[in-house]
Amino acid sequence: MKIVETVAEVREQVKAWRQEGLSVGLVPTMGYLHEGHQSLIDRAVAENDRVVVSVFVNPMQFGVGEDLESYPRDMDRDAALCEKAGADLIFHPEPSEMYPQDFSSFVDMSTLTGGLCGKTRPIHFRGVCTVVSKLFNIVTPDRAYFGQKDAQQLAVIRHMVHDLSYGIEIVGCPIIREEDGLAKSSRNTYLNPQERQAALILSQSLAEGKKRLETGEKNADKIRQAIVDQIETEPLAKIDYVEVVDWNNLEPVQTIQGPVLVAIAVYIGKTRLIDNVIQQ
């Protein structure tokens, strides 16, 4: 497995693979990889001849006062995980390689990005779309892999690929959880032991919502309220949002008819965690 830092080196490698007629999968990440990322890499390895993992903490998707500086980083550990999982290339650029001084073009989406995480992170999806768009242009993969934990991101990327006619298949992969239910996230490392315990309220409250969905509850507000009530039993938790939205357009629903996304963002202490369930 190779680790490269420049766009030119990625292009050269991908060109050589293409000349051999090989397919290419891309797993975009911000590093500090865990079993969630590993499941994406495993799937990419199973479905493509060659796999590129990008490791880049993208400054453009962090707002003022967010955790850009403290975001965990460990390239040696990431490289070992990628190698073991069977990736072929890591693209680990410096910010200046991705955003040279004269950088001035952005990918902005006028639907899907205003609600859920977009409400409190107004510039986040512009940063995500811009960097993912660049990665698509650099790697030109056949397939790209994203986790369902960032469900809004998955929907946004799918829409971007459709709008901008990228001939890339977007593969959404299930949420990977700790044994006790907490969704795997690089940000879980911020939690102290007491907060780690409190963070279980996310998956537990969603399980309550899921149970109601599965037993045929059609009133979205009742499902929402059941989740809110349960989160509010945890003193360390502060709700950012609890939403029941149409999985096709991310618009809030009153009555559940088609596929829905039940998405939550909750602060545990200072750490903002997200989780969700999708009912097709």
Q: How far apart (Å, rounded) are the C-alpha atoms in residues 186 and 252? A: 28
One of 51, 132, 144, 155 touching ligand PAF (CB under 6 A) = 132
One of 13, 29, 48, 185 touching ligand PAF (CB under 6 A) = 29
Largest CA distance in the chain: 59
Which H or E run includes 227? Answer: helix 220-231
Q: Counting contacts by CB under 6 A, is residue 243 touching ligand PAF?
A: no
Buried b (16+ CB within 10 A) or exposed e, 168-180: bebbbbebbebee
Q: Counting contacts by CB under 6 A, is residue 39 touching ligand PAF?
A: no
Shortest CB 136 distance to ligand PAF, Å = 11
Q: Which is nearer to ligand PAF, 30 or 151 (CB)?
A: 30
Give the range of 25-33, 74-82, 177-185, 231-239 binding ligand PAF by CB under 6 A.
25-33
Shortest CB 150 distance to ligand PAF, Å = 5
- Of the residues 34, 37, 92, 159, only one is catalytic, namely 37
Three-class DSSP labels, 124-190: HHHHHHHHHHHHHHHHCCCEEEEEHHHHHHHHHHHHHHHHCCCCCEEEEECCCECCCCCECCHHHHH
Q: Which is nearer to ligand PAF, 58 or 205 (CB)?
A: 58
Q: Which is nearer to ligand PAF, 34 or 238 (CB)?
A: 34
Q: What are phi and psi of 265, to 5 degrees?
A: -130, 130
One of 10, 13, 28, 145 touching ligand PAF (CB under 6 A) = 28
Q: How far apart (Å, rounded) are the C-alpha atoms in residues 203 and 217? A: 19
- Asked whether 151 and 259 are in contact (CB, 8 A), the reply is no
Shortest CB 153 distance to ligand PAF, Å = 6
Give the range of 126-134, 136-144, 173-181, 189-197 binding ligand PAF by CB under 6 A.
126-134
One of 24, 33, 81, 131 touching ligand PAF (CB under 6 A) = 131
Is 37 an active-site residue?
yes
> SS3 of 257, please?
coil
Q: How far apart (Å, rounded) are the C-alpha atoms in residues 262 and 148? A: 12
Q: Counting contacts by CB under 6 A, is residue 176 touching ligand PAF?
A: no
Q: Counting contacts by CB under 6 A, is residue 128 touching ligand PAF?
A: yes
> SS3 of 29, please?
strand
Q: Counting contacts by CB under 6 A, is residue 150 touching ligand PAF?
A: yes
Q: How far is CA 15 from CA 25, 131, 141, in A?
A: 14, 21, 11
Q: Copy the structure tokens of residue 143.
A: 């397939």
One of 61, 140, 185, 276 touching ligand PAF (CB under 6 A) = 61
Q: Which is nearer to ligand PAF, 29 or 203 (CB)?
A: 29
Task: Please give the residue ranges that form the binding site for ligand PAF (CB under 6 A).
Answer: 28-30, 58, 61, 128, 131-132, 150, 153
List residues with catalytic annotation: 37
